[in-house]
Structure 1
Amino acid sequence: MRGPLHERPVYVTQTRARHRCPTRLLVVTIHPAMVRWCSRPIDTGHPDWTLKPLVLGPEGVPVVTDAEQARAAPEVAVLSAMAHGQGEAAAAIGAAFLTGAAGLDEERRTVYGDLVLSSLSAAAKRTLEAMMKSGYQFQSEFARSYVAKGRQEGILEAKAQAVLVFLEARGLEVPVEVRERVLASTDVDELDRWVRRAAVVSDARELLATTGS
């Protein structure tokens, strides 16, 4: 959830009015400082209504290093990579996801795979590549092909497509100028940022507005 704290009661009430159903405010973040900031109660000024956001931070996300668990709950495995992909378990998290990704459809393999790999530390990515070179056999053809092409060739196009697919999967309209800019990018780090941003932006144009963040 983005925007100033004082706007968040507006999000809740507008969403409830639009969909006519019970509404909760859930903030998902991988930054501990953001967890503390977003957890602060919001005094609306109305009697008996202090909005207390629900916040899911790194400590609330399990470390998924078991392939069977990743296969059973791939979305949790993706969150695990995003929350813990810079820690000591990063390589194990990546290996678990890649091994357990065989049952996913092609679209989710692309989107989830890019989210996982873009969230892993450089050391974890090197470890996965070393595992492939040493003869480690991942159980899915997807994992073998994806890690094998972990170099520059093919990565730019895969990441750009993942950005667009993820935006579209979330129901966001992708303007022509945004699509062309994403497909034209030759910066792996920029595309990695966009893949992560695609999970949280409310408008596809925000990707281009936050290039430097």
Structure 2
Amino acid sequence: MPTNEHETPLDLVRLDPSLPGWVQAAVLGDATPAFDHAELFDPNIRPSTYQGDALVVFRDKNKQAVHAIVFEIQRDRSLAKLASWKLYIGHLEARFGVQAALVVLVPDRATADWYDRQIAAQTGSGALLRPRFFIPADVPRILDERDAAAHPARALFADLCNLDEDDLNCDVDAEDVDEMFPAMVAALGQLDPSTWAFYDDEIRGRLPAAAQARWEAFVMTTAMGPRYRTELYNQIDATAEARGRAEGRAEGRAEGRAQAARLLLTLLEKRGVAVPAETRQLIMSCTDSDRLDLWFDRAFTATTAEDIVRAE
């Protein structure tokens, strides 16, 4: 049955198909051809029903294939994989006329060693494998916010590998986890809202309770905080739903505006933005829903209350 440990890295490959190439070059130290872009290839190996986890083709600026990678997430030990991996490699090499690498994420060294022994024992096989195995602990953390923003899938993959010590067999001190927060937020900021929410849940799910609380507190200090599944985000959703039910009723619209004003002030308080009394009164007395929405949008990034209520 698919698990998050299997599916999340593959979701990140779908987000950025060049991720396996980065793993091969940056994590495993292999020399790889220069390329212009990477694209996912159909993972179904026909005519049988075999399906690889992720097959990636790397192309140059003229769209010619220069490299290919079979990227597998292998959580257990399976002799059958030795045969299917050969199919995946052969399929890519025959289809595109390039050498294809086999890059496999396994949970621990013991699993990698087991596969190496099984492959070494296949002395009579006409098709030998040369997989490049790596474990989560091999992947270095990405702490630079600019790098994370430029390559969000790489940053999330690398830092998720370093989050859950028990499940992913990484050795990261509790204090070190907090150092990853800025880069992870920078990476999340490049994603669409539904994907933000998914990876926010994934990050929190891999953190122990104390670190979860620190993560949520950190996120709420950023302009992105209210976009996540925090209590404030839930309140905003509830307000939107209440506004929809009250549409067409004057009393409901008035209450919706008042609640929006209160949420706006709550957001500013959470972000530590001081609100003078006259500005607070201006916000609470506003009867223009569009203006309140504009102010609310500004509140995510504004550094002063005056920036929020400034004239157009």
TM range, normalised to the smaller chain? 0.5 to 0.7
8 Å CA contact 2:149–2:187 kept in 1: the answer is: yes
Aligned pair count? 148
Pick closer, same or farther for the CA change 1:3–1:97 going to 2, 3 Å. Answer: closer
Deviation track 1:159-188 (CA, whole Å, cap 9, x = no partner) reads xxxxxxxxxxxxxxxxxxxxxxxxxxxxxx
More strand per residue: 1 or 2?
A: 2
Letter in 2 for 1:120: L
Q: In 2, distance between residues paired with 1:57 and 1:90? A: 18
For residue 105 of structure 1, the aligned residue among 176, 192, 200 is 192
8 Å CA contact 2:105–2:134 kept in 1: the answer is: yes
Q: In 2, distance between residues paired with 1:53 and 1:16? A: 10
Q: In 1, distance between residues paired with 2:209 and 2:232? A: 12
For residue 142 of structure 2, the aligned residue among 46, 56, 64 is 64
Q: In 1, distance between residues paired with 2:142 and 2:183? A: 7
8 Å CA contact 1:39–1:54 kept in 2: the answer is: no
**Quick check: 1:117 aligned with 2:187?**
no
1:127 aligned residue = 214
8 Å CA contact 2:103–2:131 kept in 1: the answer is: yes
SS in 1 for 2:104: strand
Pick closer, same or farther for the CA change 1:2–1:129 going to 2, 3 Å. Answer: closer
Give the unaligned 5+ runs of structure 1: 155-213
Q: In 2, distance between residues paired with 1:54 and 1:150? A: 45
2:230 aligned residue = 148
SS in 1 for 2:180: helix
**Quick check: 1:53 aligned with 2:131?**
yes
Q: Displacement, 1:63?
A: 1.0
Q: In 1, distance between residues paired with 2:181 and 2:111? A: 25
Q: In 2, distance between residues paired with 1:95 and 1:113? A: 13
TM-score (normalizing by structure 2): 0.39
8 Å CA contact 2:160–2:203 kept in 1: the answer is: yes
Q: In 1, distance between residues paired with 2:79 and 2:162? A: 30
8 Å CA contact 1:12–1:24 kept in 2: the answer is: no
8 Å CA contact 1:64–1:80 kept in 2: the answer is: yes
For residue 86 of structure 2, the aligned residue among 4, 10, 13 is 13
SS in 1 for 2:199: helix
Give the unaligned 5+ runs of structure 2: 1-73, 165-171, 236-312
Identity %: 20
8 Å CA contact 2:136–2:161 kept in 1: the answer is: yes
Q: In 2, distance between residues paired with 1:131 and 1:107? A: 20
Letter in 2 for 1:106: P
CA RMSD of aligned residues (A): 3.4
Larger radius of gyration: 2
TM-score (normalizing by structure 1): 0.54
8 Å CA contact 1:70–1:77 kept in 2: the answer is: yes
**Quick check: 1:26 aligned with 2:108?**
no
8 Å CA contact 2:148–2:183 kept in 1: the answer is: yes
For residue 84 of structure 1, the aligned residue among 162, 166, 170 is 162
